[in-house]
A and B are shown apart, each in its own frame.
Chain A
Amino acid sequence: MSSATDHAEESNYLNAKPGLMSWLTTLDHKRIGVMYLISILTAFFIAGMLAMLVRTELLTPGRTIVDPDTYNQFFTLHGAIMVFMFIIPGIPAALGNFVLPLMLGAKDVAFPRLNLMSWYLWVFGGVFAVVSMVTGAVDTGWTFYTPYSTDTSTSVINMTLGVFILGFASIFTGINFVVTIHKLRPAGMTWWRMPLMLWGLYATAIIQVLATPVIGITMLLLIAERTLGVGIFDPALGGDPLLYQHFFWFYSHPAVYIMILPAMGVISELISVHSRKTIFGYQAIALSSVAIAAFSFIVWGHHMFTAMSPMANMVFSALTFSVSIPSAVKTFNWLATLYRGHIRLNTPMLYALSFLFLFGIGGLTGLFLGTLAVDVHLHDTYFVVAHFHYVMFGGTVIAFLGGLHHWWPKMFGRMYNEGLAKLACFLIFIGFNITFMSQFIMGSLGMPRRYYDYIDAYGSYHVWSSIGAYIMAVGFFLTAGYLIHSLIAGKKAVENPWGAATLEWRTASPPIEHNFHETPDANYPYDYSVNRFNPDTGNYDHIGAPAQEDDDRAVGFHGHGLESTT
């Protein structure tokens, strides 16, 4: 049995090798995860500030701070940077890179060099995308729809080239995760005994590998169209702008699941660990991830209801509804896990509960949009913007924050200020709902998205929306503050502060350079009877699997520090 104090003086992955170069040339998945974390948070900061500028401009009708062209660039850059540089790589590349090998009890991913290369590609692509801000920006909206994107004088090529390169980073992460999960599971970890986070990452990786090449060719075609002008998206020359939309959404709809599936994986871990109860419906949650991944490839047409034939619309509408089934399966299983659990209302759990609430709204409003008759009215209004943000922010970003707070002690070996963290979570939750609930209302009243100006009737909704955005910003700055503070002055984290049963909690916080002194043998990841709370250290010591191996899935663990079931 080992406790955190045994490892207190030991070197860890953060201090094992000094100097910036040791980071830039590292093959350690944990360091690459941290580098990805810093990178994506930088992108999140830039794109978040752009969102604040957008909301500030919309505070009053007409000009508030900038002219219409600049405003178009603000929301385009906000969307493009958020989607391609933060939400898509966010959970897999930052949190996933850090926890995936640890959860497998492995030393690293299968291809560490490819992993480092993925990060460099991200930086390279990111530079292209961000540099476009100063070389004329982009004003097409993050979807780069033709024909406008082939005509506008802004630097579309820079941005699309950036997206093209970022795609490779995503594919390489996907290949690494698929192979690592197939090949590096430890003895005792069958597919059905794998943490659900890994199922989420696995399903995500499949989509990354099989959908991302399509955005590659789409971006290439767009660049070719801008440079050669041969007319592939121009009906006058035999092309078709709809071809662009088909291509774009054939990637970008699955990409929505690249964003949400790992979030669902995170939530499965948080809910089970922090309600101290084995996950309900393990196989249903695992298989629904795979089902969502499969469905994700056949629903892209629902972005184009106002552009396709009635027959195609009906097919895509029906397919779209079917995606809600696996999503609902997950949600009910999470609720059933909470039922009669010993819920700890700490920060990760508060984020997990926020996720259930916000993703629930995001998912259900998706059904409105999947309904043809309703969509014709709601298409291109703020209702779509609100729906998208409830799923992408209320789902993915909230899950990312929950996961970050859950794994923060493991990543950096420090505890953050719990009181401030709860306050920040509350501010973000309240601010978010104010921002986007008002957008649901004004969208259903007909306020079109992307508009610079609006009639006075929408004025109060826009003001509320902007106020909500500022509240969120305060929450985020607070989060940045206490997390940075924890790195300097936070209480030292024990090995397993939450009493989780997955393998990453069986090594020191932060982990040693090669993760484990000896490969841990895997138990069922939601069997909390393998731990015993030690009141002296505050750690949940690993005491091994109970004697009745066969029954280990059914064992729930009620309360802190109970004796083992043997």
Chain B
Amino acid sequence: MTASGDGPDPFTVIRSQSGPDRDQVNPPGTGTLGFAVLLASLSVLFVASVAGYLYVRINASQWPPAGMPGLPMSLWLSTAVLLGCSVFIHRALKAIQKDDQKGLRRNLQWTLVLGSLFLVLQTLNYVGLAQSNLTAKTNLYGFTFYLLTGLHAAHVIGGLIPLIIVTHRARRGRYSSFFHPGVTYSAMYWHFLDGAWVVLFAVLLIGS
């Protein structure tokens, strides 16, 4: 067993033993390292976007520009919901490490619910701002807001799809304390999304 639970898939190992010795069997931790490198790459994307925002913000004389709405207060609610995702995915990981299948399923489902709720809240934020005549085309204030939050929302969508698959596999009892890479990667990814959001939100708050 590996700490990260991403050792060789027992199914793959059985296959490769019967077939030609073509399949590469990676040592434990390979997938986790690969995923960590991917997240490092993604974090550069967010850092660059924040840098672009700050560049524009520092050049601006007035922010938000006159007549423009401030940041929606409901962003605080979005933040709380996203933090909830982190909590539940963490509990899901802890559950499967103890072979608690029921706990795994329950916590994954809660992560899914909260992740979807986050997207709904962000959409409501966008609708509200659009009603106050602030869209991505209005000015740089609007553009940078939609860019940063939109980039993040796109990555939330990109996290929900694999999470649905992982939840489905969990229902079929595919994971065990020995083998649960999908859960490990999901946990890493949602913690990353959470961290990225906290930084983005803090920057937006300070910028305003």
Is A375 located at the chain interface by the 8 A CB criterion? Answer: no
Interface residues on A, range: 35 or more
Q: Is the CB of A243 within 8 A of B24?
A: no
Give per-residue flags for A183-225: 1 if the beta carbon is below 8 A from chain B beta carbons, else 0: 1100000000000000000000000011111101110010010
Is A107 located at the chain interface by the 8 A CB criterion? Answer: yes
Is B123 located at the chain interface by the 8 A CB criterion? Answer: no
Query: Would you list which residues of chain B between 92 and 113 have a CB under 8 Å from chain A?
Result: none
Q: Is the CB of B137 within 8 A of A238?
A: no
Closest Cβ–Cβ distance, residue A233 to chain B (whole Å): 10
Query: Would you list which residues of chain A between 126 and 140 have a CB under 8 Å from chain B?
Result: none
Q: Is the CB of A217 within 8 A of B33?
A: no
CA distance A229 to B142 in the complex (A): 13
Q: Is the CB of B37 within 8 A of A230?
A: no
Question: In the complex, what residues of A have CB within 8 A of residue B18's CB?
Answer: none
Q: Is the CB of B45 within 8 A of A230?
A: no
Q: Is the CB of B56 within 8 A of A232?
A: yes
Beyond A110-B30, A230-B137, whether A238 also contacts B37 by CB under 8 A is no
Q: Is the CB of B24 within 8 A of A240?
A: no
Question: In the complex, what residues of A have CB within 8 A of residue B45's CB?
Answer: 213-214, 216-217
Is B41 located at the chain interface by the 8 A CB criterion? Answer: yes
Query: Would you list which residues of chain B between 1 and 57 have a CB under 8 Å from chain A?
Result: 20-24, 26-27, 29-30, 33-34, 37-38, 40-42, 44-45, 48-49, 52, 55-56
Closest Cβ–Cβ distance, residue A252 to chain B (whole Å): 13
Closest Cβ–Cβ distance, residue B198 to chain A (whole Å): 19
Question: In the complex, what residues of B have CB within 8 A of residue A216's CB?
Answer: 45
* Most A CB within 10 A of own CB, among B22, B41, B60: B41
Q: Is the CB of A111 within 8 A of B34?
A: yes
Query: What is the predominant secondary structure among interface residues of chain B facing chain A?
Result: helix
CA distance A224 to B20 in the complex (A): 50
Closest Cβ–Cβ distance, residue A371 to chain B (whole Å): 28
Question: In the complex, what residues of A have CB within 8 A of residue B29's CB?
Answer: 183
Is B132 located at the chain interface by the 8 A CB criterion? Answer: no
Is A504 located at the chain interface by the 8 A CB criterion? Answer: no
CA distance A109 to B138 in the complex (A): 47
Beyond A106-B24, A228-B137, whether A238 also contacts B60 by CB under 8 A is yes
Beyond A175-B38, A228-B136, A514-B20, whether A183 also contacts B30 by CB under 8 A is yes
Q: Is the CB of B21 within 8 A of A232?
A: no
Is B68 located at the chain interface by the 8 A CB criterion? Answer: no
Q: Is the CB of B22 within 8 A of A513?
A: yes
Is A68 located at the chain interface by the 8 A CB criterion? Answer: no
Q: Is the CB of B30 within 8 A of A171?
A: no
Q: Which of A110, A175, A178, A210 contacts B24 (CB 8 A)?
A: A110
Is A20 located at the chain interface by the 8 A CB criterion? Answer: no
Q: Is the CB of A224 within 8 A of B143?
A: yes
Question: In the complex, what residues of A have CB within 8 A of residue B143's CB?
Answer: 224, 228, 230, 232
Question: In the complex, what residues of B have CB within 8 A of residue A246's CB?
Answer: 55
CA distance A182 to B30 in the complex (A): 8
Q: Is the CB of A209 within 8 A of B37?
A: yes
Question: In the complex, what residues of B have CB within 8 A of residue A107's CB?
Answer: 21-24
Beyond A184-B26, A231-B140, A513-B22, whether A214 also contacts B44 by CB under 8 A is yes
Question: In the complex, what residues of B have CB within 8 A of residue A232's CB?
Answer: 52, 56, 140, 143-144
Give per-residue flags for B130-173: 1 if the beta carbon is below 8 A from chain A beta carbons, else 0: 00000011111011100100000000000000000000000000
* Most A CB within 10 A of own CB, among B33, B52, B60, B147: B52
Query: Would you list which residues of chain A between 225 and 248 have a CB under 8 Å from chain B?
Result: 228-232, 237-240, 243, 246-247
Q: Is the CB of A211 within 8 A of B60?
A: no
Closest Cβ–Cβ distance, residue B29 to chain A (whole Å): 7
CA distance A209 to B35 in the complex (A): 12
Query: Would you list which residues of chain B between 57 and 75 have a CB under 8 Å from chain A?
Result: 59-60
Further contacts, 7 of them, CB under 8 A, given A213-B42, A228-B143? A183-B29, A230-B138, A230-B142, A232-B144, A238-B56, A239-B140, A243-B52
Chain B interfacial positions (CB closer than 8 Å to A): 20-24, 26-27, 29-30, 33-34, 37-38, 40-42, 44-45, 48-49, 52, 55-56, 59-60, 136-140, 142-144, 147
Residue pairs across A and B with Cβ atoms less than 8 A apart, 17 shown, are: A107-B24, A112-B24, A174-B41, A182-B33, A209-B37, A213-B44, A214-B45, A214-B48, A217-B49, A230-B137, A230-B138, A230-B142, A230-B143, A239-B56, A243-B55, A243-B56, A513-B22
Chain A interfacial positions (CB closer than 8 Å to B): 106-112, 114, 171, 174-176, 178-179, 182-184, 209-214, 216-218, 221, 224, 228-232, 237-240, 243, 246-247, 250, 513-514
Top 7 nearest A-B pairs (CB, nearest first) are A213-B45, A230-B143, A213-B44, A179-B34, A108-B24, A183-B30, A209-B41
